[in-house]
Structure formats: structure tokens, C-alpha cells
Amino acid sequence: MCLAIPGLVCEIISEKRVMVDITGVRREADTSLLEEPLDVGDYVLVHTGFIIQKLDPEQAKEDLKLWDEILSS
Amino acid sequence: MSEPTQKYRDKEMVDAIIRKIKQLTEQIGEKVRIMHVCGTHEHDLAKAGLRSLLPKEIELIAGPGCPVCVSSAQDVDEVLWIADNHNVTITTFGDMMRVPGSKESLYQAQGRGVDVQVIYGISDAIKLAEENPEKEFLFFSVGFETTSCVTAAEVIRTKLPNFSIYASHKLIPPAMELLMQRDDLEFQGFLAPGHVSTIIGAKPYDFIPEKYNFPVAVAGFEPVDILLGIYALLKQFNENTSRVDNMYKRYVRHEGNVAALKTLEEAYVVADARWRGLGVWPNTGHEIADKYSHIDAKKKYEIPELETTDLHSGCICDEILVGKSKPHQCKLFNKACRPDHPIGACMVSHEGTCNVAATYEEIIWED
């Protein structure tokens, strides 16, 4: 039940609401649980209508480096 | 378009990690039992068939990570008592509908006329209450930190006279500690739940290696994510060390989601919690803080003491929930108790250990 779905912020509706594209389905989501502001193009995790975290793109790139290490070792 | 998850399902990467896992397993030279405490992990790893790719020395055990499965019959009974005695409409997640109470589930109660509405999230319940001011609504809120912080946001800001929340919220880190303290369970490391960790961070697990010398790896949910978590744990075993490896850093910060944590702290107090078949576990739950008692169904209604039964005859959900027994060892499994006719709570949710075992014919441990 702690299922959270990754989505892409595609529209800022108001201070506490954004539109998220989840595999082609657009759905409004509440941003009250997030301190940092969101921009169009951010990847986020959506859980029961609330955004619970924003993807850290720098970290995602770091992850790929770790993969390269595993693949090449 | 959504997050490019495809790369986290990459076959070449999966094969590479499996090769690494096999090398490490040979170096370790003994059986390793890893417990996860997340229903989504159980579901996703079974769906991807990951157990079948792992060397037989590595056992992945499902712990009490499905919030629907661990909710006690008393919670269902009390919610139904409120509905029956105060003419209240119950709103809850679809997964909760068939969770057995002592006498009946919400689904069965619906059949005799109790108004039960399935909703996607708490906001839908609030909308119903706003649109129907003449009726009384209750949101039956079940979940770990991931879900309970969403409820917490509404506890703080919602002021509707005809709306209350019945909280059945549980906490993962103190439950992990109680599992380690049990001498009837044998496992050597924890795969920590990714989405709970997006909220609480990796930090609350620090006591596990520090106090118990127990390895932890926080993992996400795609096949590569889960395998990287297992790989990180095996590296710790092989190096004979223990620490918290965060393998889901793209979403899990060490400190967690600070705003969500503040919301949890504002809305709730830590309390004892009832886990199905396992009794009351001290300090493993969240109750609504006194400050917000106007929205707390347990305060709004004077619920009498009810006689409750968590386990129906033959059900071993209590043993399944802590990974002590496997679904196939239950004499009801896939016979009297099936996904289309669940008797035990672990067969209800699609993330329940028995439901997953039945759906994906998952063999959790070899005999």
C-alpha cells in the first residue's frame, strides 16, 4: 500500500497543486508535503494524491556511475 | 511520460548484478537470510521473478510490511461499531474492504446495508463530507509512514463537523527492532522499504548496525533497485561489517522529507499499536495528537470494549507476518483461503504475502 508512482510535473496549478503526468494519464496532485518548490519537468513520486518526494536528478546520474562500475568490474 | 523507469528494468544490468551476487554468495560460503518489511517489495520482486534468479543460498523473507495485513480485527470491528451505532459512512482504501474483522469484513457489512465507500485517497473522503453536510463520514486510515503523513496533512488542516479519522498507523523502524529482538526468527539483514524511507530518510535505521550489528540496505522497487539492495547487503556480509547503504538515493535523502516529518510530528503522538495476531507492540504506532481530537474518531465516539479475534480457525497469519512460516505451510492456503475468498488478512491485499504467493506461485523458501 506504500505504492508510490513516478510521474512528471507538467503544469503548476497553484501554490499547493500541480498536474502530474503518470504514464500518459494527467492527475492533480497535492504538494503540501514537499518543502522544495516544483518546476515543470521535475520527476516526482505520487502517493494517494500527494507528492511525497522529488527525484534528485544529480543523484540519478550518480546511480548510473555505480552501475557502470558494476558492469565493468 | 513518466520517469524513464525502463533503465531500472534493464536485462543486461540485472544479469550483471546477478553475476556479482553469485560471486559474493560463493565468497560468503553460507546461507544468508534477508528480511524485507514492505508489501510493495514482496509484490514487485515476485512479479519480476527475482527469487528465481538468486542463488539458493540467498533467502528473501517477507516481514510485516503490508499495512493492510497487519491491521487488527479490532480496528475493523471498531469502525463497524461506529458505523452501526452512529449511522456513519465509512470511507477507506479498496484494499481494506475484505480485511477480516472478528465477525465480518467491511465488504460483508456493506452487503447488510452499511454505507462503505472506496476512495483513492483521503482528499476524496473530505470532498464527500463537504458535498454531503447532512451525513457523517469517517475515514479509516491505515498505513505506515508513507500513507500516514498524507493523512497527517489533513488532520492539521481539515475542520469539518461531519468528518473524522480512525487512525491505524504503524511505524517501521521500531517494528524492525522488535523483529531483531525475537529469538525465534533467524535472519541476518534488512532490505529497508523505499517509499517509507522517502519520508523518514535513511537516518532512522542507523541504530540497527550501531546497536545490533545488523546490515541494512534501503532499496527501490524496480528489479535493478531491489537487486542492488541485495548486492549491497551481501557486500556488507562479505566484508563482515554492518552499515546502512542507501541504494534508492534518487528519492531517499538521508534526513528524509523534512516537511513530511514535521507534519507527522505535528499531527500525531507515538503510541502502542495492535498488529494482527501479534498483540500490542509498544511504541510502534501513531495516534492523532490531543490538539486535533476534534477529528479523531476514537475520541469523537465512545467505543465500548469489544471482544475481538484476529485469527480465524486454522489461519497462521501471525507466523506468516513475521516470516516464521511460509504460505504453503498454512493448511488453508489456496484451499479455503484464496485471493477470491480470503480468510486471513495476508491473502487480502495484492501486497499480502499469501496473496502474492498465490498470484505469482511464488515459492518463498525451498523446504
- Listed by start position, the domains of chain A span 5-72
Tally A–B CB contacts below 8 A: 127
pLDDT of residue B364: 53
pLDDT of residue B175: 98
**What residues are paired with B245 via a beta bridge?**
B217
Question: Which residues are CB-contacts of B3 (< 8 A; sequence separation ≥ 6)?
Answer: A6, A7, A8, A43, A55
Question: Which residues are CB-contacts of B4 (< 8 A; sequence separation ≥ 6)?
Answer: none
Question: With contact defined as beta carbons under 8 Å apart, do B298 and B287 qualify?
Answer: yes
ipTM score for this prediction: 0.94
Among 2.30.30.140, 1.20.1290.10, 3.30.300.30, 3.40.190.10, what is the CATH number of A5-72?
2.30.30.140
Task: Classify burial at B309, counting beta carbons within 10 Å of its beta carbon; exposed 0-12, middle 13-18, buried 19 or more.
Answer: middle
Pairwise CB contact (< 8 Å): A6 & B252: no
Pairwise CB contact (< 8 Å): A23 & B40: no
Averaged confidence pLDDT in chain A: 91
**Grid coordinates belonging to B196:** 517509507
Nearest CA to CA, how far is A30 from chain B (Å)? 9
User: What residue in A sits closest to B352 (Cα-Cα)?
Assistant: A1
Pairwise CB contact (< 8 Å): B198 & A52: yes
Q: How many CB atoms lie within 10 A of CB A59?
A: 15
Pairwise CB contact (< 8 Å): A23 & B2: yes
Q: Which residues of A touch B155 (CB under 8 A)?
A: none
CA distance B43 to B47: 6
- At B280-327, the pLDDT tens digits run 999 999 999 999 999 999 999 999 999 999 999 999 999 999 999 999
Using CB atoms, which residue from B2, B196, B253 is nearest to A7? Answer: B2
Q: What is the DSSP letter of B7?
A: G
Domains of chain B: 71-172+264-298 (3.40.50.11740)
Alpha helices of B145-274 — where are they, by DSSP H?
145-157, 172-181, 194-200, 207-212, 223-238, 258-267
Full pLDDT tens readout for chain B, 367 residues? 345 677 889 999 999 999 999 999 999 999 999 999 999 999 999 999 999 999 999 999 999 999 999 999 999 999 999 999 999 999 999 999 999 999 999 999 999 999 999 999 999 999 999 999 999 999 999 999 999 999 999 999 999 999 999 999 999 999 999 999 999 999 999 999 999 999 999 999 999 999 999 999 999 999 999 999 999 999 999 999 999 999 999 999 999 999 999 999 999 999 999 999 999 999 999 999 999 999 999 999 999 999 999 999 999 999 999 999 999 999 999 999 999 999 999 999 999 999 999 999 866 545 4
pLDDT of residue B157: 96
Pairwise CB contact (< 8 Å): A52 & B193: no
Question: With contact defined as beta carbons under 8 Å apart, do B106 and B90 qualify?
Answer: yes
Amino acid identity at A54: K
pLDDT of residue B366: 52
Q: Which residues of A touch B153 (CB under 8 A)?
A: 30, 32-33, 50
Q: Which residues of B touch A60 (CB under 8 A)?
A: 250
Residue in the block written with cell 548484478: B17
Pairwise CB contact (< 8 Å): B40 & A3: yes
pLDDT of residue A3: 82
Q: How many CB atoms lie within 10 A of CB B121?
A: 20
Averaged confidence pLDDT in chain B: 95
Task: Classify burial at B1, counting beta carbons within 10 Å of its beta carbon; exposed 0-12, middle 13-18, buried 19 or more.
Answer: exposed
Q: Residue ranges of chain A with pLDDT lower than 70? A: 1
Using CB atoms, which residue from B146, B250, B351 is nearest to A63? Answer: B250
Using CB atoms, which residue from B20, B95, B199 is nearest to A52? Answer: B199
Pairwise CB contact (< 8 Å): B38 & A55: no
Nearest CA to CA, how far is B253 from chain A (Å)? 9
**Grid coordinates belonging to B170:** 504503524
